[in-house]
């Protein structure tokens, strides 16, 4: 064999094995493998010289090349193994898996505060034997006004307040028509609670054109203002918290006689006076009274054989008081950040 080729082979052997061993990453090691043992690598280049060799030297040269190839492949495998091991140890040391990190929490939906209040009222009133009724949102003029003894010239019918659908239909302005549907379709004694959206042509910082009310009605053989006061006082304590007082202020509603406005002592300052109760210690939550005999007459219920009381509260208002919400317009905005605060 020509000493020239022999020297080249020895050089490749020693350089390649030294570089394989000195490689600092499996990537650079692989690049070296390509450089020395690849299809157009150094060893292949030397192989090409075989063609110029005398015939009898070819087998010896070929044998030598194969030996070096096998030797270098062995060095490569060992170096690769050592590097992979080192790299793995390095990863284990640096890429720590912190099992104490909090897990990803799936965002849960939450009930809208209006429906949270409604559900709570249902639960409290169910304990007094009340069950739930609903009614249409588009009401006949008769149910929204007439049957409730609201005459044609009553201010509640004013174009300012009522959304008229046509001459005889309105978007209900209150939940009181639910009383009439119940009186017409059911037989007393009755203890019902009705709820849902109501609509008024009114919008400012403390009024929404679409808000919610809750209506209660009790019809029995002997019903007094004392029963009404007892029921509402119980409800206020259960809903807002123990120790809260309820007071009735004389008022007027066409469908009740006598009528009263219901105030509860301010749940925030407990009656001492704060900005929520405008420093009066009291907050108005709705209206109530004994059912006007005219309403019974319209619904063909015999009075005084049957008597009753009714009350109506604003749901958003109760939510504002209970949860300390400072702007009624947050309710219909549908901002998930607001609603999420009521996750239970
Ligand atoms: N419907 C009345 C309103 O929207 C509230 C009301 C007052 C309801 C007295 C009643 C009641 O049932 O007895 O202003």
Count helices and strands (H / E) in the chain.
12, 10
Angle formed at CA 263 by CA 259 and CA 160, multiple of 5 degrees: 65
Residue 54 has pLDDT above 70, yes or no: yes
Among 183, 255, 290, which is best to mutate for testing ligand 1, by the most ligand atoms less than 8 A from CB? 255
**If you measure from the C-alpha of residue 283 to the centroid of ligand 1, how many angstroms do you get, rounded to a whole number?**
16
Residue 130 Cβ contacting ligand 1 at under 6 Å: no
Residue 263 Cβ contacting ligand 1 at under 6 Å: no
> Among 96, 65, 79, which Cα is nearest to 33's?
79
**If you measure from the C-alpha of residue 279 to the centroid of ligand 1, how many angstroms do you get, rounded to a whole number?**
25
Averaged pLDDT of the chain:
90
Position with higher pLDDT, 142 vs 43: 142
Class of the 113-342 domain?
Answer: alpha beta
Strands 256-265 and 246-253: antiparallel
At 2 the pLDDT is 54
What sign has the CA pseudo-torsion 10, 12, 17, 19? positive
Which residue's CA is the closest to the ligand 1 atom numbered 4? Answer: 174
Helix 58-94 crosses helix 3-22 at what angle (to 10 degrees)? 10
Among 107-111, 127-131, 259-263, 296-300, the least confident range: 107-111
> Among 276, 265, 262, 342, which Cα is nearest to 309's?
262
The side-by-side arrangement of strands in the sheet containing 138-140 is 138-140, 169-171, 164-166
**If you measure from the C-alpha of residue 146 to the centroid of ligand 1, how many angstroms do you get, rounded to a whole number?**
14
> Among 242, 251, 183, which Cα is nearest to 217's?
183
List the domain boundaries for the chain: 4-94, 113-342
The answer to whether residues 239 and 231 touch, using CB atoms and an 8 Å cutoff, is no
Give the integer Cα–Cα distance in Å for 160 and 158: 5
The model carries a pTM of: 0.69
Residue 321 has pLDDT above 90, yes or no: no
Give the integer Cα–Cα distance in Å for 229 and 284: 15
**If you measure from the C-alpha of residue 113 to the centroid of ligand 1, how many angstroms do you get, rounded to a whole number?**
22
Phi then psi for residue 246, to 5 deg, are -120, 140
Give the integer Cα–Cα distance in Å for 252 and 250: 7
State the average pLDDT over residues 115-124.
95
Position with higher pLDDT, 306 vs 323: 306
Residue 288 Cβ contacting ligand 1 at under 6 Å: yes
Residue 4 has pLDDT above 70, yes or no: no
Report which ligand 1 atom has the smallest distance to the Cα of 289: 13
Give the integer Cα–Cα distance in Å for 225 and 315: 23
Give the integer Cα–Cα distance in Å for 325 and 276: 10
**If you measure from the C-alpha of residue 175 to the centroid of ligand 1, how many angstroms do you get, rounded to a whole number?**
8
**If you measure from the C-alpha of residue 231 to the centroid of ligand 1, how many angstroms do you get, rounded to a whole number?**
16
How many CA atoms lie within 13 Å of 3's alpha carbon, on the beta-carbon side? 0
At 46 the pLDDT is 85
Q: What percent of the chain has pLDDT over 70?
A: 97
Distance of CA 60 to the CA centre of its chain: 81
State the average pLDDT over residues 65-87.
92
Residue 194 Cβ contacting ligand 1 at under 6 Å: no
The answer to whether residues 297 and 330 touch, using CB atoms and an 8 Å cutoff, is no
Give the integer Cα–Cα distance in Å for 72 and 146: 104
Q: What is the pLDDT of residues 193-215, one digit of tens each?
A: 999 999 998 877 777 899 999 99
Residue 343 has pLDDT above 80, yes or no: no
Which residue's CA is the closest to the ligand 1 atom numbered 3? Answer: 174
């Amino acid at each position: 064999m020509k000493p020239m080729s022999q020297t080249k082979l020895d050089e490749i052997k020693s350089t390649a094995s030294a570089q394989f061993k000195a490689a600092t990453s499996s990537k650079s090691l692989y690049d070296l493998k390509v450089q020395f043992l690849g299809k157009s690598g150094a060893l292949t280049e030397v192989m090409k010289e075989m063609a110029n060799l005398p015939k009898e030297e070819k087998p010896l040269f070929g044998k030598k090349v194969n030996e070096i190839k096998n030797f270098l492949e062995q060095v490569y495998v060992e170096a690769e193994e050592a590097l992979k091991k080192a790299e793995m140890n390095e990863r284990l040391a640096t890429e720590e898996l912190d099992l104490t990190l909090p897990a990803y929490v799936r965002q849960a939906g939450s009930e809208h505060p209006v429906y949270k209040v409604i559900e709570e009222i249902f639960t409290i009133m169910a304990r007094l034997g009340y069950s739930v009724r609903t009614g249409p949102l588009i009401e006949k003029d008769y149910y929204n006004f007439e049957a409730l003894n609201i005459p044609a010239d009553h201010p509640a019918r004013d174009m300012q307040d009522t959304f008229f659908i046509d001459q005889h239909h309105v978007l209900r302005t209150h939940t009181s028509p639910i009383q009439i549907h119940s009186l017409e379709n059911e037989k007393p004694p009755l203890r019902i609670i009705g709820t849902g959206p109501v609509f008024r042509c009114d919008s400012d910082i403390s009024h929404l054109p679409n808000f919610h009310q809750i209506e209660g009605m009790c019809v029995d053989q002997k019903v007094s203002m004392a029963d009404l006061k007892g029921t509402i006082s119980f409800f206020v304590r259960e809903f807002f918290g123990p120790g809260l007082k309820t007071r009735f202020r004389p008022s007027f509603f066409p469908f009740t006689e006598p009528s009263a406005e219901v105030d509860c002592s301010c749940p925030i300052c407990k009656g001492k006076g704060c900005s929520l109760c405008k420093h009066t210690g009291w907050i108005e939550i709705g209206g109530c009274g004994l059912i006007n005999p005219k309403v019974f007459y319209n619904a063909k219920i015999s009075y005084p054989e049957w008597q009753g009381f009714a009350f109506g509260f604003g749901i958003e208002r109760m939510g504002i008081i209970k949860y300390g919400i400072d702007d009624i317009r947050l309710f219909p905005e549908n901002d998930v950040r607001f609603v999420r605060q009521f996750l239970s």
